[in-house]
């Protein structure tokens, strides 16, 4: 059923994009005038949390290029909440997936709202399926990923390389495609005082005082193949308590509550809003996370960080200079696994990652 849904979605995208091949487009001089001094720029970032963090440097670079332009973020609710403290943005618009059947009325209203704003430039940084929506909003300059099913909707295209390995620098190509020289950048997030206050309120509900030091552990991921076995958490909690006097907070979304945890750690799964969640990571003495959204959020926040990665998926391990990464290894995976073969169960490489190796990496980070 999942494959069938993906196929029909791709077919609908293809039919939506094809008529755009025959639309009239401005000449080079007109493009150049728009790009040099736009009044309103729309930046689309709609995707998973980790991908959104890696896409966020485009916002910072766009502000440097167009200091007088109004920058608007178009994303889903969690994208807008994730980037709520980004001071380079002037506005955030929450939207639904453009081909949503159940939200057709809301999508149509969003389309009308975008058209009324009269944007000059649309940057499809994350969420290329919004390309037709930008066409219908009459945005003259539309920048999207090359060789995508929605490519006919773009006026300018950029490369991201492999869908498996792209990172912040590849997404910055969306600005380079317009002729700007943009240096490579590392994602950076700065929580506001309001975010930290909300995090303190959330921790207080969990029994942790405002001056109490703690470590945040996220052994989960967007798919179960990324999960670190829950029975290792208690061993790590004891190490944090004995060596550093830190309490341990287990963080994760509501979907992770299905995993039983036999530990004395504070269980915050599903009990924090995304804003509180970001603030909790920002206040943590150290964060331990799998290759998932909290790893990228903590890295962008500059927190001391331990990453739990599969040896077959190392592409984002070195994104953040302060992070120390521990790889799970399993010999058979080197021969049998192409990318994400273990779709239903925890990856054998993650299952072979013992708590003592994670504790050793944690000692190195804490010694810094």
Same domain for 169 and 245, yes or no, is no
Same domain for 66 and 146, yes or no, is yes
Assign 3-class secondary structure to the chain.
CHHHHHHHHHHHHHHHHHHHHHCCCCCHHHHHHHHHCCCEEEEEECCCHHHHHHHCHHHHHHHHHCCCCEEEEEECHHHHHHCCCCCCCCEEEECCCCCCCCCHHHHHHHHHHHHHHCCCEEEEEECHHHHHHHHHCCCCEEEEECCCCCHHHCCEEECCCCCCCCCHHHHCHHHHCCCCCCCCCCCCCCCCHHHHHHHHHHHHHCCCCCCCCEEEEECCCCCHHHCCCHHHHHHHHHHHHHHHCCEEEECCCHHHHHCCCCCCCEECCCCCCHHHHHHHHHHCCEEEEECCHHHHHHHHHCCCEEEEEECCCCCCCCCCCCEEEEEECCHHHHHHCCCCCCCCCCCHHHHCCCHHHHHHHHHHHHHC
Query: Residue 194: what pLDDT?
Result: 96
Instruction: Decide if 54 is inside a domain.
Output: yes
The residue from 176, 202, 232 where one domain ends is: 176
Same domain for 170 and 282, yes or no, is no
> Contact 328/357 with Cβ under 8 angstroms?
no
Query: Residue 93: what pLDDT?
Result: 94
Say which residues have a Cβ less than 8 Å from residue 282's Cβ, sequence separation at least 6.
Answer: 191, 195, 196, 199, 301, 303
The residue from 143, 176, 209 where one domain ends is: 176
Instruction: Decide if 285 is inside a domain.
Output: yes
Domain count of the fold of the chain:
2
Interval 89-133: pLDDT, tens? 999 999 888 877 777 888 888 889 999 999 999 999 999 999 999
State the sign of the Cα–Cα–Cα–Cα dihedral 232, 236, 242, 246: negative
Residue 43 is part of a domain; what is its CATH number?
Answer: 3.40.50.2000
pLDDT < 70 stretches in the chain:
2, 5, 22, 24, 338-346
Query: Residue 96: what pLDDT?
Result: 84
pTM reported for the whole predicted model:
0.92
Same domain for 300 and 351, yes or no, is yes
Same domain for 149 and 229, yes or no, is no
Instruction: Decide if 185 is inside a domain.
Output: no
Cα separation of 300 and 60, whole Å?
13
The residue from 151, 176, 201 where one domain ends is: 176
Listed residue (330, 314, 317, 325) closest to 358, CA to CA = 325
Same domain for 128 and 276, yes or no, is no
Query: Residue 3: what pLDDT?
Result: 73
Interval 40-84: pLDDT, tens? 999 999 999 999 999 999 999 999 999 999 999 999 999 999 999
Same domain for 199 and 152, yes or no, is no
Instruction: Decide if 86 is inside a domain.
Output: yes
Instruction: Decide if 70 is inside a domain.
Output: yes
Same domain for 150 and 212, yes or no, is no
Query: Residue 356: what pLDDT?
Result: 93
Same domain for 281 and 314, yes or no, is yes
Same domain for 221 and 118, yes or no, is no
Q: What angle do CA 309, 315, 316 make, to 5 degrees?
A: 70
Query: Residue 38: what pLDDT?
Result: 96
- Phi/psi at 14 (5° precision): -60, -45
> Contact 60/185 with Cβ under 8 angstroms?
yes
Listed residue (216, 237, 247, 243) closest to 355, CA to CA = 237
* Cα 251 to Cα 103, 203, 240, 248, 319, distances in angstroms: 31, 11, 16, 10, 22
Expressed as residue numbers, the domain containing 129 is: 11-176
Query: Residue 119: what pLDDT?
Result: 97
Query: Residue 339: what pLDDT?
Result: 57
Instruction: Decide if 186 is inside a domain.
Output: no
Cα separation of 141 and 187, whole Å?
25
Query: Residue 5: what pLDDT?
Result: 67
Instruction: Decide if 183 is inside a domain.
Output: no
State the sign of the Cα–Cα–Cα–Cα dihedral 6, 11, 16, 18: positive
Instruction: Decide if 5 is inside a domain.
Output: no
Same domain for 169 and 25, yes or no, is yes
Same domain for 277 and 302, yes or no, is yes
Do strands 91-94 and 70-75 pair parallel, antiparallel, or not at all (unpaired)? Answer: parallel
């Amino acid at each position: 059923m999942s494959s069938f849904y993906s196929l029909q979605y791709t077919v609908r995208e293809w039919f939506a994009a094809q008529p755009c091949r025959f639309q009239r487009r401005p000449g080079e001089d007109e493009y150049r005038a728009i790009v040099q001094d736009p009044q309103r720029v729309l930046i689309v970032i709609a995707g998973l949390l980790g991908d959104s963090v890696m896409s966020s440097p485009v916002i910072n670079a766009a502000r440097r290029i167009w200091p007088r332009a109004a920058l608007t973020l178009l994303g889903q609710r969690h994208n807008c909440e994730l980037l709520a403290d980004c001071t380079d943005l002037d506005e955030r618009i929450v939207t639904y997936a453009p081909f949503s059947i159940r939200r057709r009325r809301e999508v149509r209203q969003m389309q009308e709202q975008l058209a009324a704003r009269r944007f000059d430039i649309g940057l499809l940084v994350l969420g290329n399926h919004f390309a037709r929506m930008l066409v219908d909003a009459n945005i003259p300059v539309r920048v999207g990923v090359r060789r995508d099913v929605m490519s006919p909707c773009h006026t300018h295209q950029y490369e991201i390389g492999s869908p498996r390995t792209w990172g912040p620098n590849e997404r910055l190509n969306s600005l380079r495609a317009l002729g700007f020289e943009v240096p490579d950048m590392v994602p950076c997030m700065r929580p506001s005082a309001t975010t930290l206050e909300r995090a303190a309120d959330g921790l207080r509900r969990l029994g942790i005082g405002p001056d109490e030091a703690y470590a945040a552990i996220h052994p989960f991921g967007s798919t179960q193949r990324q999960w670190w076995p829950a029975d290792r958490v208690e061993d790590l909690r004891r190490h944090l308590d004995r060596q550093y006097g830190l309490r341990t907070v287990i963080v994760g979304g509501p979907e992770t509550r299905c995993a039983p945890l036999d530990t004395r750690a504070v269980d915050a799964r599903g009990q924090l809003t995304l804003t509180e969640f970001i603030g909790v990571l920002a206040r943590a003495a150290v964060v331990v996370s799998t290759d998932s959204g909290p790893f990228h959020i903590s890295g962008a926040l500059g927190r001391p960080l331990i990453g739990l990665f599969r040896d077959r998926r190392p592409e984002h391990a070195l994104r953040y200079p302060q992070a120390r990464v521990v790889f799970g290894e399993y010999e058979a995976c080197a021969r049998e696994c192409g990318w994400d073969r273990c779709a239903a169960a925890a990856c054998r490489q993650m299952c072979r990652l013992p708590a003592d190796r994670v504790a050793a990496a944690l000692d190195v980070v804490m010694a810094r």
